[in-house]
Chains A and B, each alone.
Chain A
Amino acid sequence: MNGILYTRYELIRALRNRRFFFFSLGFPLVLYFVIAGPQSSDHNFAGSGISAALFYMAGLVSFGTMSSMISTGARIAGERQAGWTRQLRITPLSTRAYFRAKVMTAYAMAGLTIASLYVAGAILGVSLALGNWLEMTGLILLGLLPFAALGIALGHLLTVDSIGPAMGGLTALLALVGGTWFPVTHGFLHDVGQCLPSYWLAQAGHIGTGGAVWGLTGWLVMAAWTVGLSALAGYAYWRDTGRV
């Protein structure tokens, strides 16, 4: 009744999907070794105060986990097209349990991405105090909240045909402006980036450089996006299903 089995099989379904392993796990891992590998001896990458290995680990974690979270949207769009969402609506599954299953599945997938990139980071020489690992992980998990909501919103707004390009384009853009591929420290991109959740997600890797990682701006931006995108997700679900 409370949707535990439903959540479990949602997760199993996600794990059986090969696209996930390619785009959210394999792709960031390969990119990490290709980009950060040759520069792994750079301990103050482009003046960022952190090593290249850590910079790219954090950047690719943000890229991979964003993909994981937003890919919820692809699963939802597929379920809508199959008529499964309507089928669920004539079962006692509550809206809350439905959302919970989607968010937990997305987080589990993101967790796999994080773990695999941490291992890769350690291989390339990332070394942090335990407290820093934990703080970074906590910030990343919090920073994924707006993306969890975004995935649900996109899934209920877009169709199977349009969601692929939308997800790919959005993730690439957010990663670029967020500083996944190169440090964004000043100028227009920096100003825009500071207003986006992907910037602060990647910024979680700038740990152990002194001071608070996010600062007030970071927390405010994250909170605003979480609230805004959750409202959008709620609206998208309501518009799609006529249900509160």
Chain B
Amino acid sequence: MTEGIQIEGLAKTYRAPGGPVAAVRGIDFSVGPGESVALLGPNGAGKSTTIDMLLGLTQPDAGSVTVFGNSPRHAVDAGLVGGMLQTGALIRDLTVRELILVAASLYPDPLDVDEVIALTGLGQAASQRTQKLSGGQTQRVRFAIALVANPALLVLDEPTVAMDVEGRRDFWMTMREYAARGKTVLFATHYLEEADANADRVVMMAHGKIVADGPTTEIKARIGRRTIRTTLADADRAELSRLDGVSSAERHGDSVILRCADSDRAIRALLEAYPAARDIEITGAALEDAFLELTREPDRAEVPESLGAAR
């Protein structure tokens, strides 16, 4: 129980009509017991395949997964794992309460059904048939099914898809309360704010590989650390990008954006070389920038112009 999750050299290739697709290409990471970890990445990064292998739903081609020191299958059979899969509807012809009751009955040490109904905000819908629910309510029920298991490891694959703003807020609050009971939580998301706000640590995936693994603050520090914006006529982009402390530069007319490895050195170099620079603004990088920087295609070395425009 003290080992958490260990993933080593994990790989999976799917057969597809257009040829084999390497969904996961040799990844290593671990999740400590009681830790909340976000698996962050764009669609197609391999997050769901990783989670499927972690849950024993898919057999890896190579590498290994252990959950609390054993195989995923063993952990699932022991009732240690609760999960909310990426896709999934509910079976029909049962009420919400009945369905959660059935889920609870499958586990050795479930939470109280009514407590879970209250926690997931399903009090109003408890006696409704599952086929009559809205998309947001369905997600809440799916969360309730994962939660009622009272699992030592809670796995959530893009859980807030189809939830409205209020639903999301409630969801994460409940998830954090559950994590605070000392439970291990792993969730996949492509929303940076969700990872930032709800995880102790972020594992970033792109193209089937892990591109970053660390606390959100560390990831922010690693990439695009600070950005300097200024208004500057007649400056050459290539020259700007060669300034001390600057890692890349963009120009849109007279406005210049400098991504800096060291913004202290960069601002001194900028003012020395271009005393006419005005409207200077230095901002900390949003996680969004770190994300784009880390997950872009390896062969696109240049930062695309659209990156700046997207801000």
Contacts and interface: CB of A to CB of B under 8 A. Distances in A.
A12 B108 CA distance: 23
A243 to B, nearest CB: 8
B90 A90 contact: no
A166 interface: no
A78 B88 CA distance: 12
A9 B102 contact: yes
Contact of A86 (B82, B85, B92): B85
A13 B129 CA distance: 11
A242 B59 contact: yes
Contacts of B77: 92, 94
Contacts of A86: 57, 85, 88
A82 B81 CA distance: 21
Contact of A12 (B78, B82, B94, B145): B94
Given A1-B106, A91-B106, A92-B76, A84 B94 contact: no
A176 to B, nearest CB: 32
B121 interface: no
Contact of A9 (B76, B92, B98, B107): B98
B83 interface: yes
B301 interface: no
Nearest to B79: A92
A178 B107 CA distance: 44
A82 B88 contact: yes
Interface in B84-106: 85, 87-94, 98, 101-103, 105-106
Given A87-B85, A90-B76, A79 B91 contact: yes
Nearest to B107: A92
B55 interface: yes
Given A9-B102, A83-B88, A91 B149 contact: yes
A104 to B, nearest CB: 15
Contacts of B98: 9, 12
Contacts of B58: 242
Contact of A82 (B91, B101, B103, B105): B91
A96 interface: no
Interface of chain B, main secondary structure: loop
Given A82-B88, A90-B56, A90-B57, A17 B93 contact: yes
B133 to A, nearest CB: 13
A82 B93 CA distance: 13
A170 to B, nearest CB: 24
A93 interface: yes
A91 B104 CA distance: 10
Interface centre among B105, B108, B145, B149 (most CB of A within 10 A): B105
B91 A13 contact: yes
Interface in A188-244: 242
Contacts of B105: 1, 3-6
18 contacts: A3-B105, A4-B105, A9-B94, A9-B102, A12-B94, A13-B91, A13-B93, A13-B94, A79-B91, A82-B91, A83-B88, A84-B88, A87-B83, A89-B57, A90-B83, A90-B85, A91-B106, A92-B79
Going nearest first, the 7 A-B pairs with the smallest beta carbon separation are A83-B88, A5-B105, A82-B89, A16-B93, A13-B93, A91-B106, A92-B79
Interface of B: 55-59, 76-79, 81-83, 85, 87-94, 98, 101-103, 105-108, 145, 149
Interface of A: 1, 3-6, 9, 12-14, 16-17, 78-79, 81-84, 86-94, 242
